[in-house]
Amino acid sequence: MRRFLRIALTLLGLIFVSACGAGTDTSGDLSGEELTVIGMCQVGAESDWRVANSESMKAVFTEENGYRLLFDDARQKQENQITAIRKFIQQQVDYIVLMPISESGWDSVLQEAKEAGIPVVLVDRMVDVEDESLYAAHIGSNFWEEGMRAAAWMEQVFPEGDPVRIIHIQGTAGSTAQLGRTAALEEAVNSHENWELLARLDGDFTQAKTYEVMTDYLSALPEKGDIDVVYCENDNIAFGALQALEEQGYTCGRNGVNIITFDATRGALAECLNGKISLAVECNPLLGPLAAEVIQAMEAGRVPEKHHYVEEQVFAAEDLTEAVLESRKY
Ligand code: AHR
């Protein structure tokens, strides 16, 4: 329905323009496209999770399924995401799918999309906007809940009263994943007198940055530290931390430094199976089918539910099996 209206308005506009004898630059205008046009603003490719997420989107938004996907990789920069959204508005896409890098700074550009009549579907992370009507729906994980699952595991494995010395390596500052996982850890540390935060480092969700900051941190210690847990806000952070710890002579696993990670991609589960990662909390990147369902609902004139949270599980090294690893899709 929306589509017909949009095409009709465009045709009227074209008649008006030619009647006036004036020309407008409509290069890249996709309003007459037969397929449903999706403008997608992806954060980048900083992690294995992100790559799996992009693949999941590309697998559903195909021509065979009735879509034309315009995929933009923002290379970890919010300004690139904003520029891409403005371009999609100019092109008159049917929907914008946005994976916001951070929560703040979206009011103006989402208002522009709303004024252009283009519904925005948020995937993965959230935005912090005054007006909730600036986005049609959000599909993703409950990051705080993921962090609480990690804290519950720590409560269960460390005897009450024993010191638990934690290094916390954060993801991209201001992203929903960082905010939720950090808030959960803070709550847990504040409610356990014997849990101590030794350091907080910025790993920006990447292996390279984490390896660098963790190596610097460990090398600056006067002697080998007593570290019980490294709470890594995603798998790539965990890979960087593991590499740095091992190079500095630490043993990782249940009898050494316990690495906790989020995402539980195949690479992390493999390290979990071999005992080097103690806990992998799942963050499901396969959000394409759910995003398509939401868009199909809007195409049919229905109002989608505002928030959709995906089911996730937890993998502890001691429970993981080869069969689980083999069946892992990402
Ligand atoms: O927002 C989801 C997080 O972002 C994932 O945990 C991480 O790997 C990604 O880059």
Find the 29 Cα to ligand 1 centroid distance in Å.
Answer: 33
Whose C-alpha lies nearest to ligand 1, atom 6? 234
Q: What is the pLDDT of residues 308-326, one digit of tens each?
A: 999 999 999 999 999 999 9
Calpha distance 113→134 (Å, rounded)? 8
Q: What is the pLDDT of residues 54-86, one digit of tens each?
A: 999 999 999 999 999 999 999 999 999 999 999
The residue-averaged pLDDT of 279-286 equals: 98
What is the pTM assigned to this prediction?
Answer: 0.91
The residue-averaged pLDDT of 183-208 equals: 98
Q: Which atom of ligand 1 is nearest to the CA of 283?
A: 6
Calpha distance 327→315 (Å, rounded)? 14
Look at residue 3 in the predicted model and tell me its pLDDT: 52
Find the 48 Cα to ligand 1 centroid distance in Å.
Answer: 9
* Domains of the chain: residue spans and CATH: 3-139+286-299 (3.40.50.2300), 143-283+316-327 (3.40.50.2300)
120 lines ligand 1 (CB under 6 A): no
Calpha distance 173→159 (Å, rounded)? 32
47 lines ligand 1 (CB under 6 A): yes
Pocket test for ligand 1, best of 76, 124, 260 (most atoms within 8 A of CB): 124
Find the 312 Cα to ligand 1 centroid distance in Å.
Answer: 14
Look at residue 33 in the predicted model and tell me its pLDDT: 80
Look at residue 16 in the predicted model and tell me its pLDDT: 37
* Residue 12: pLDDT over 90: no
Look at residue 9 in the predicted model and tell me its pLDDT: 41
Find the 88 Cα to ligand 1 centroid distance in Å.
Answer: 24
Look at residue 29 in the predicted model and tell me its pLDDT: 75
Confidence of residue 32 (pLDDT cuts 50, 70, 90): confident
Calpha distance 218→204 (Å, rounded)? 18
Look at residue 253 in the predicted model and tell me its pLDDT: 98
Q: Which atom of ligand 1 is nearest to the CA of 124?
A: 1
Q: Which of 235, 172, 170, 162 is nearest to 196 (CA)?
A: 162
244 touches 211 (CB < 8 A): yes
Report the side by side order of strands in the sheet with 258-263.
195-202, 164-170, 229-232, 258-263, 279-282, 314-316
* Residue 20: pLDDT over 80: no
135 lines ligand 1 (CB under 6 A): no
124 lines ligand 1 (CB under 6 A): yes
269 touches 280 (CB < 8 A): yes
Look at residue 31 in the predicted model and tell me its pLDDT: 73
Confidence of residue 23 (pLDDT cuts 50, 70, 90): very low
Find the 205 Cα to ligand 1 centroid distance in Å.
Answer: 7
Q: What is the pLDDT of residues 130-176, one digit of tens each?
A: 999 999 999 999 999 999 999 999 999 999 999 999 999 999 999 99
* Residue 47: pLDDT over 60: yes
Tell me the average pLDDT of the chain: 92
Whose C-alpha lies nearest to ligand 1, atom 1? 177
Q: Left, alpha or beta for 211 (phi > 0: left; psi -120 to 50: alpha)?
A: alpha
* Residue 28: pLDDT over 90: no
